[in-house]
Amino acid sequence: MNILVTGGISSRIGKNIVGRLLEEGHTVIATYRNDISNDKLPQSERLHTFKLDISEEADVKDCFNHFFNEKALPIDTLINNAGTNVGGMLTQLKTKDWKEMIDTNLTGTFLMCKYFSKYAARRKKGQIINIGSSAANGNLPYQGGYNASKAGLISLSKTLAVELAPYNLRVNIVNPGFIPSQLNQFSEAKEIEETEKSLLGIKHNLSNLVDFISFICADSLSGVTGQEFNIDSRLNK
């Protein structure tokens, strides 16, 4: 299958997903925002890269036109993984930081879904996997903009699932639990706190997340859409 992963080069979660999908024989398009050096990329003929800021409509249009039309490499599955988090108490959060989170996590994902669906609908085949967050269903303080953007993503994904079902396009949302990365500044304190909440005392679930993504990328799940999956072992978010 041909699978596009946003933030697939630099994101901690994204590059693990890309690595696994390549191992499994898929063709993968990994997007990046800042220039990359080739020696840092997984070596595979099945890896394609594309420079893209998901919040820029022109970039998004170009990306799908490039792969579906120019390269004749139709994308079967879109994994919207790129995301950003700027912490801070809501009453002090700068409007520019709020906008950055909404522009990337919500508007950017919307744009990717919008343009992907136009091409995928023509083939009557395709899947969108939006990477949400367990934060969407909780109320963790000091990251209210992030929480709100990810909560919005749930509604976006489920509504899209309804609208796109007649075109045989599926949309699901996968919520990872805490995974140390740039996004949370690899916060040790937060990792300890989150591990304590894990029913199984698991430090973080990156490998299970990657297992799960590879599982739902499989064609065999053709009857699953509009669902939200928490890859987590916590009941109290």
Ligand X SMILES: NC(=O)c1ccc[n+]([C@@H]2O[C@H](COP(=O)([O-])OP(=O)(O)OC[C@H]3O[C@@H](n4cnc5c(N)ncnc54)[C@H](OP(=O)(O)O)[C@@H]3O)[C@@H](O)[C@H]2O)c1
Contact footprint for another protein (CB under 8 A)? 61, 65, 69, 115, 118, 121-122, 166-167
Residue 69 interaction partner, one of ligand X, another protein, none, beta carbon < 5-8 Å per kind: another protein
Residue 133 interaction partner, one of another protein, ligand X, none, beta carbon < 5-8 Å per kind: ligand X
Q: Which is nearer to ligand X, 153 or 164 (CB)?
A: 153
Alpha-helical regions (H) of 38-184: 57-64, 95-101, 109-123, 144-164
Q: Which is nearer to ligand X, 72 or 200 (CB)?
A: 200
Q: Which is nearer to ligand X, 49 or 168 (CB)?
A: 49
> What are phi and psi for residue 112, nearest 5 degrees?
-60, -45
Please, what is the minimum distance in Å from the beta carbon of residue 161 to another protein? 15
Do residues 29 and 22 make contact, with C-beta atoms less than 8 angstroms apart?
A: no
Please, what is the minimum distance in Å from the beta carbon of residue 117 to another protein? 8
Residue 121 interaction partner, one of ligand X, another protein, none, beta carbon < 5-8 Å per kind: another protein
Do residues 57 and 111 make contact, with C-beta atoms less than 8 angstroms apart?
A: yes
Asked if 146 is an active-site residue, the reply is yes
Residues that bind ligand X (CB under 6 A): 6-7, 10-14, 32-34, 52-55, 81-84, 104, 108, 131, 133, 176, 178-179, 181-184
User: Among 165, 162, 148, 55, which Cα is nearest to 110's?
Assistant: 55
Cα distances (angstroms) measured from residue 78 to each of 109, 146, 207: 10, 22, 20
Dihedral of alpha carbons 97, 98, 99, 104, sign: positive
Residue 81 interaction partner, one of ligand X, another protein, none, beta carbon < 5-8 Å per kind: ligand X
Q: Please compute, for residue 99, the number of CA atoms within 13 A of its CA located in the half-sphere on the CB side.
A: 3
Pairwise CA distance, residues 227 & 142, whole Å: 28
Please, what is the minimum distance in Å from the beta carbon of residue 116 to another protein? 12
Q: Which is nearer to ligand X, 82 or 169 (CB)?
A: 82
Catalytic positions: 146
